């Protein structure tokens, strides 16, 4: 029987293969959607967790380096008779419970009292593990231990949220942690640099305020007012200048709020203006060492010292002006850089301009250099 050759029309073949192509495309699309929603989020979360784990290991290394440096410095300077490591571990876990703020009346004095007690106990504990340290060295060691404490706290918090996100399989915790990690690592590296500066007693960027004040009070008669604050009188543009700073060269910030209040009371409220000099965090894109001026009390911290200054200035109708030097967080707590140092002269020129514009010859003006005075004497 002869074979019959069946001829299939070309348009029928086209329809057949076209349908197969559409089915294949739909199948691949469905497969992609299933993979994306089924495994994509898990793969992304795994990548985030790898990043956090890598950062956490780096934080642990930084924490260890700071702790080793602290232990080494304590042994070299403090010359303890026993191993200081157990007491140092206790210091690494210290904490401060903030007062109840349901009724805000009187909360500033509560904070002030707690901070005084904390500082006193902290320094006593440091002195216990470094009995041979002199007062300036004790301040430096206290700053060094605080830097190590900060790194230890950062590590513990990051580890907590990492393990919590891993335990609960919460992508929201992991995403937030991964997004903040670069900023956290930057801050941790800054604290490590600060620890090295404190160990060596080097001036840091935050000391620009005390540095300017020390230049104003150079070769002048000095006296101590309130807690760890040095005052000297000088003249500038025919004005009486009362310059103050924390007592150096040990790492110290003093209590400038109490000092300014005391000086205003000493002068019977007859102070024409208060000028405060401090370091301030710059915005990205701004140059380090830029000088700006503004209104208000330029001082960081928890707010107790600023409250005292604002309260006393308001009571006596004294304007408060601020001159700040812009720095990054890294520059603020690591050894002072050239551009920050050179900004000191610009600040003095800005102060001169400010007092000429805003006061009269013979007026009394308080100039307060705010910041950590480590490595900066009087």
CATH of residue 232's domain is: 3.40.50.1470
pLDDT digits (tens, 9 = 90+) for 154-207: 999 999 999 999 999 888 899 999 999 999 999 999 999 999 999 998 999 999
Asked if pLDDT for residue 10 goes beyond 60, the answer is: no
Same domain, 221 and 364: yes
Number of domains in the chain: 2
Burial class (CB in 10 A: 0-12, 13-18, 19+), 127: middle
Instruction: Judge contact between 325 and 280, C-beta under 8 A.
Output: yes
Q: Beta strand pairing status for 320-327 and 273-281?
A: parallel
Q: What predicted TM-score, i.e. pTM, was given to this entire model?
A: 0.85
> How far apart are the C-alpha atoms of 279 and 376, rounded to whole Å?
15
Residue 46 pLDDT class (50, 70, 90 cuts): confident
Higher pLDDT, 37 or 99: 99
Question: Is 161 found in the same domain as 71?
Answer: yes
- Domain-located, residue 23: no
12: confidence class by pLDDT, cuts 50, 70, 90: very low
pLDDT digits (tens, 9 = 90+) for 255-293: 999 999 999 999 999 999 999 999 999 999 999 999 999
Same domain? For 50 and 178 the reply is yes
Residues 194 and 210 in one domain: no
Q: Report how far apart the first and last C-alpha atoms of the chain are (Å, whole number).
A: 120
Domain end (from 136, 165, 200) = 200
Segment 308-334, tens digit of pLDDT: 999 999 999 999 999 999 999 999 999
Does position 48 have pLDDT exceeding 70, yes or no? Answer: yes
Residues 308 and 326 grouped into a single domain: yes
Q: How far apart are CA 138 and CA 129, in angstroms?
A: 10
Distance from C-alpha of 81 to C-alpha of 331, rounded to nearest angstrom: 36
Beta bridge partners of 244: 231, 368
Domain termination site, one of 200, 232, 258: 200
* H helical segments located in 39-106: 41-73, 85-92
Q: Read off the pLDDT band of 3 (50, 70, 90).
A: very low
Of the candidates 200, 235, 251, which is a domain's last residue? 200
Enclosing domain of residue 252: 205-369
Cα–Cα distance between 321 and 275 in angstroms, integer?
5
């Amino acid at each position: 029987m002869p074979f019959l050759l069946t001829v299939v029309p070309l348009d029928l073949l086209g329809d057949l293969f076209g349908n197969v192509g559409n089915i294949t495309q739909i199948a691949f699309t469905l497969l992609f959607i299933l993979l994306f929603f089924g495994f994509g989020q898990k793969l992304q979360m795994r990548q985030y967790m790898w990043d956090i784990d890598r950062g956490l290991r780096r934080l642990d290394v930084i924490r260890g380096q700071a702790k080793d440096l602290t232990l080494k410095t304590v042994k070299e300077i403090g010359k303890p008779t026993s191993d200081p490591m157990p007491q140092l571990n206790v210091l690494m876990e210290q904490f401060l419970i903030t007062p109840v703020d349901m009724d805000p009346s009187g909360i500033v004095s509560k904070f002030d009292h707690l901070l005084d007690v904390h500082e006193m106990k902290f320094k006593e504990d440091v002195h216990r593990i470094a009995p041979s340290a002199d007062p300036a060295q004790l301040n430096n060691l206290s700053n060094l231990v605080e830097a190590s404490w900060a790194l230890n706290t950062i590590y513990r918090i990051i580890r907590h949220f990492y393990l919590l996100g891993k335990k609960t399989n919460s992508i929201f915790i992991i995403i937030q942690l991964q997004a903040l990690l670069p900023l956290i690592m930057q801050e941790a590296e800054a604290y490590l640099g600060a620890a090295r500066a404190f160990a060596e007693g080097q001036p840091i960027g935050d000391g620009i305020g005390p540095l300017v004040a020390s230049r104003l009070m150079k070769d002048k008669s000095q006296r101590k007012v309130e807690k760890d604050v040095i005052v000297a009188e000088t003249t500038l543009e025919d004005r009486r200048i009362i310059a103050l700073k924390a007592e150096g060269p040990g790492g110290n910030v003093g209590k400038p709020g109490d000092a300014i209040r005391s000086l205003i009371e000493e002068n019977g409220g007859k102070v024409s203006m208060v000028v405060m000099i401090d370091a301030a965090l710059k915005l990205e894109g701004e140059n380090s060492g830029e000088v700006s001026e503004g209104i208000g009390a330029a001082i960081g911290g928890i707010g107790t010292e600023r409250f005292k200054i604002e309260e006393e200035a308001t009571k006596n109708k004294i304007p408060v002006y601020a001159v700040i030097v812009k720095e990054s967080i890294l520059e603020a707590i690591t050894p002072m850089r050239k551009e920050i140092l050179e900004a000191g002269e610009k600040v003095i020129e800005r102060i001169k301009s400010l007092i000429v514009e805003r006061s009269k010859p013979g007026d009394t003006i308080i100039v307060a250099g705010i910041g950590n005075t480590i490595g900066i004497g009087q």
